[in-house]
Structure 1
């Protein structure tokens, strides 16, 4: 049972009700027992009521906002229930594949896992394909793209309908520990996730897979924190990427209890990792950006409008909104196919 599953919610709510009923029925009966034993049993009963109520509330909130797709995402452990993946890119030419691989970062000195989507026919093809790096939110992992956002099915569908050409989509890990939001930046005195994602991941992908190596053939996409990452990295590295898509992303660097002090008190470094500041204070690159959100995601919608207002040529901005959905995976599932279609329209095709 997933933490955001309907069955999980039913079990959690049922357990809460049953524990409350048992506690209410047995409360007075405990008074006939020894005072010390009655106190212990009543304490246990109250604790059970609180624990089941908290669990039911957590599951209900997770089903609404879809923070976690897997129990192991909550505690920051590697999942034992990984998506089905083939280690050999040539094993099945007739169907798309999700291939796990490791990125050994020569520049960042980080070694982290990743997945690659290879389209049907990849094994028998000869052309070099465009690449999109897909970044997740926080909390999250590449598994969210593969299991909850159904990225493989979406890409299969869009390629089969000829709305996008065959492409490789890479799902890198963007956190060193699942409990700490990296914001995809080179933290001052800490992990260099910007370097990992923009130097080490492309190097590993270009070495392992048959892909384009020019900036015209590379793009970024991300949801929530990953949307911030996609836009920030594209603005910082226009020599590496031609386009980026943000789904419910934001445009100002944050520091809070989830990030820690990424910038070690350096206001300038924080500004340089804020897309909104970059497009107002620095010369902007020739780059295409797709920014999308739900209108009832008020913080995201406000930032989207502000960013679109201040962006200037040669930056090219496309905005997209849906009326309702908030900040959730339901929204990102709706937005994924149009965003990949848009990216394909800006990236150079197979060569």
Structure 2
């Protein structure tokens, strides 16, 4: 009996109806001392509540597609065969040399679990002189899971300053003397909605998974920067709302320049990437196309098709279109002077995001690659299992961090 099948749902409906009927019939027929009868009646009430919760859980799961199978529910899924449908554009701007450049255009296969280790591409984001970029200085405090956390209010956008706005995770190489003059590539991370930036390191284990990939030599050292895109619990789909919240400016300009001024990171567009899941995947895809002067590559895991925030929708259909990845790929295709790469990771068991990925690739086959997984629904356990592959892909599409001595 499958988790999402009609037989299980009908069985849950029957049990949910039978439980209160049975409780009514048995209530005054229970025998034994008073404490025994009281305990039995409490047990019947609890059984009724449990059957209702079971039915509600199944209905919610079937509606939102959170878990596709029993293995998925138990955290034993999310893998399956990976079919990588490659984009056709060569990595032209990653072979220009100079500070932050790379020395190879070749793409390695995704290096996920069970697929073997792939040696990192040579090259680097090192510079002989490390001037301090202009930008706001910011204090950070220790956070959980090896992160540093800041309450940061953007000087241009006015967004932030509420606590837990920006989480930063530094790779082990950051404090290695051999990398003392190396600027590290950055991957900005976005949660879904509802969601918090900290979930990237607690629930998804973003830092732990990258640390494991580094130990297996399947990724380059990235500085991970998770941004709270749901300020005060309000979702604006990472957009600059006319007359309202300027979340896109906060991410692309305020947070980026603040990170450059406070950490030893790349100041080149080829050293900055984006990644998100669900609604955060939409953020990553559309921001890449809206700001190709700042970002080189992005990964959207089970990304949403279009913004659905009430504030975005109220701004009109033209504004919705301008913040939709598919529309941007069709109408604002980045030119050869600022080439970008987008990876859409999806599962065949996620019916909402699956067609989105192939629509994106059909619109821009020179930009979009699709990582198609056989199993896994729309949940964080699945997306965490994809992270080794995502880090490997980003390592091939951003500047690499190499020792300076």
Same fold (TM > 0.5): yes
- In structure 2, relative to structure 1, the CA distance for the partners of 1:275 and 1:210 (3 Å cut) is same
Q: Residue in 2 aligned with 1:331? A: 382
SS at match of 2:343: strand
> Would the aligned equivalents of 1:175 and 1:193 in 2 still touch at CA under 8 Å?
no
CA distance in 2, matches of 1:147, 1:168: 17
Q: Give the alignment partner of residue 342 of structure 1, picking from 393, 401, 404.
A: 393
Q: Give the alignment partner of residue 361 of structure 2, picking from 308, 312, 320.
A: 308
SS at match of 1:349: coil
- Displacement after TM superposition at 1:65 (Å): 2.1
SS at match of 2:310: coil
> Would the aligned equivalents of 1:97 and 1:119 in 2 still touch at CA under 8 Å?
no
Q: Give the alignment partner of residue 279 of structure 1, picking from 326, 329, 333.
A: 329
- In structure 2, relative to structure 1, the CA distance for the partners of 1:58 and 1:145 (3 Å cut) is farther
Q: Give the alignment partner of residue 164 of structure 1, picking from 219, 240, 245.
A: 219
CA distance in 2, matches of 1:101, 1:62: 35
Q: Give the alignment partner of residue 220 of structure 1, picking from 263, 270, 274.
A: 274
- Displacement after TM superposition at 1:165 (Å): 1.9
- Displacement after TM superposition at 1:188 (Å): 2.7
- Displacement after TM superposition at 1:281 (Å): 2.2
Q: Residue in 2 aligned with 1:321? A: 372
Listed one character per residue, the Cα deviations across residues 39-67 of structure 1 (whole Å, up to 9, x for unaligned) are xxx9x99998776555555667579827x
Listed as ranges, the matches of 1:32-111 within 5 Å are: 55-56=53-54, 65=66, 87=141, 97-111=146-160
CA distance in 2, matches of 1:190, 1:45: 52
Q: Residue in 1 aligned with 2:259? A: 205
> Would the aligned equivalents of 1:129 and 1:350 in 2 still touch at CA under 8 Å?
yes
Unpaired stretches in structure 2, ≥5 consecutive residues: 1-15, 30-40, 68-139
> Would the aligned equivalents of 2:167 and 2:198 in 1 still touch at CA under 8 Å?
no
Listed one character per residue, the Cα deviations across residues 85-114 of structure 1 (whole Å, up to 9, x for unaligned) are x9369xxxxxx9311122221111012522
How many residue pairs match? The answer is 291
- Displacement after TM superposition at 1:205 (Å): 1.1
Q: Which has the higher helix share?
A: 1
Unpaired stretches in structure 1, ≥5 consecutive residues: 1-15, 30-41, 67-85, 90-95
Listed as ranges, the matches of 1:234-273 within 5 Å are: 234-251=288-305, 253-255=306-308, 259-273=309-323
CA distance in 2, matches of 1:312, 1:62: 33
- Displacement after TM superposition at 1:123 (Å): 2.9
CA distance in 1, matches of 2:313, 2:282: 16
SS at match of 1:319: strand
1:147 equivalenced with 2:202 (yes/no)? yes
CA distance in 1, matches of 2:273, 2:255: 13
The two structures have a TM-score, normalised by structure 2, of 0.64
> Would the aligned equivalents of 2:171 and 2:223 in 1 still touch at CA under 8 Å?
yes
CA distance in 2, matches of 1:145, 1:236: 24
